[in-house]
Amino acid sequence: MTVLDQPHLLLRWSHAATVLGAGVLAVAMALTVTSGTASADTVTANFSAGAHPEGMAITPDGTRAYIVNASNGVSTVSVIDTASNTVIKTITVGKYPSAVAVTPDGTRVYVANSSSDTVSVISTASNTVIKTITVGSQPAGVAITPNSSRVYVTNTTSDSVSVISTANNTVTTSVFSIDSPSGVAITPDGSRAYVTSSDGDSVSVIDTATNDVTKTITVGDDPFEVAITPDGLRAYVVNYYDSTVSVIDTVSNVVTQTVTVGTHPSGVAITPDGSRAYVTSSDGDSVSVIDTVSNVVTQTVTVGTYPRGVAITPDGSRVYVTEAGSTVSVITIEQKPALAGTPAAGIVGEAYSYAFAVIGKPAPILTVTSGALPGGLALTDAGVLSGTPTTAGSYTFTVTATNGGGNVALPVTVNIIKASTGSLGNFGS
């Protein structure tokens, strides 16, 4: 266990400011939107948000991102249009906002204000604060149940978790005796909340039906954030001082694997399909990409200085990473194509259509790279082979699916047969 002599959030941003220096911070705040071409999980855009962007959440429809900004004199939430990656609204909240979550129904945003001991409730329709809720001391993390009925807020210095009813936006109960709780995530079925204990080097499992701690799991040094896979079977916990990620089997509630990542990980998010975990390395200026099948780091993406928060769009196409200063990097998620299909035979003069099965991010483009298609047929970029065959025969060719992640080729044979002429026979009188 590593004991910090001041609250985690303020210490880590203080360190970021020291590393950057005033001159670099000024340059960072002057950055504007840029873009480029992706080639396997690379930064394709970055833009300016507020000063010291910290936590971040994206709406269920993927059109807006809410980013909390915490620095001296600035305590706001930036509302981002994800189509243009521009700030469309700035909302003043409590002092030093540290975390943010959007309700699954997309109607409200809950912001934990670490130095105000409050939670700000924002209406996404008006993008205004509609309620301020008093919670415990130094709220640090926030998560919402899948049915949008309750909000769980970790309170670091009061060693508690506040449970808020979204029906009336009041604290209905509190869970105590968790040493310096920080991050929190709720299982997809809403039955359990996993809370990191930064000074206890552990994760507490809360039964949301009773709001009792049912299990305490030992993890690495200074666990900070936690994310749960969409199937609810695993929890990924970033351990700040160990520079590791603990993988918890949520059925047995034991650590099954420990993954080494970049220096001082502080944020984690999992893709909607559950195939990858993205972990920010605050002192490595990078994001580690973990394959959740093998639990191996398959790629390290360089981003801006002192990356902290991370969120993934609902369609799984982009990763947003907040950085010290005022910048946010956008990573395009790329998945090498997979291609399959066995087209049926066609008949001369009859309409034909067959769609190959293809996946990949971004959507792959399909082309014929060798051989020739049957006369009268054509292949679309999306992989639909169609037309009206003109000549009988056996045609062998190669279809290749390509995107920024790579390419894959599929040998194909299509048989075209002559139309049956039939016979009317002889009719006697």
Residues composing the chain: 429
Q: Is the peptide bond before 362 cis (omega within 30 degrees of 0)?
A: yes
Q: Where are the beta strands (DSSP E) in 296-372?
A: 296-302, 307-312, 318-323, 327-332, 335-340, 346-347, 352-355, 357-361, 365-371
Cα angle at 110 between 240 and 175, to 5 degrees?
65
14-28, 157-171, 293-307, 414-428: segment of lowest average pLDDT: 14-28
Closest to 318 in 3D by CA, of 328, 326, 306, 308 = 328
Over range 297-307, report the average pLDDT.
96
12-26, 47-61, 110-124, 202-216: segment of lowest average pLDDT: 12-26
- Residue 32, pLDDT above cutoff 70: no
Q: Name the one residue in this structure whose structure tokens are 């949008």.
A: 148
CATH for 336-417, options being 1.10.1060.10, 2.60.40.10, 3.40.50.410, 3.60.20.10: 2.60.40.10
- Residue 25, pLDDT above cutoff 60: no
Domain ranges in the chain are 8-335, 336-417
Classify 10 as helix, strand or coil.
helix
Closest to 336 in 3D by CA, of 314, 362, 318, 354 = 362
Over range 62-74, report the average pLDDT.
91
Closest to 44 in 3D by CA, of 378, 362, 414, 347 = 362
Closest to 199 in 3D by CA, of 179, 224, 177 = 179
- Cα(359)–Cα(242) distance, rounded to whole angstroms? 36
| pTM, 2 dp | 0.83
Closest to 355 in 3D by CA, of 365, 340, 374, 368 = 340
Secondary structure of 25-63 as H, E, C letters:
HHHHHCCCCEECCCCCCEEEEEEECCCCEEEEEECCCCC
- Cα(58)–Cα(42) distance, rounded to whole angstroms? 20
Going by pLDDT thresholds of 50, 70 and 90, the confidence category of residue 387 is very high
- Residue 303, pLDDT above cutoff 70: yes
CB 280 within 8 A of CB 267: yes
In the CATH hierarchy, which top-level class contains the domain 8-335?
mainly beta
- Cα(280)–Cα(310) distance, rounded to whole angstroms? 7
The CA radius of gyration of the chain, in Å to the nearest whole number, is 26
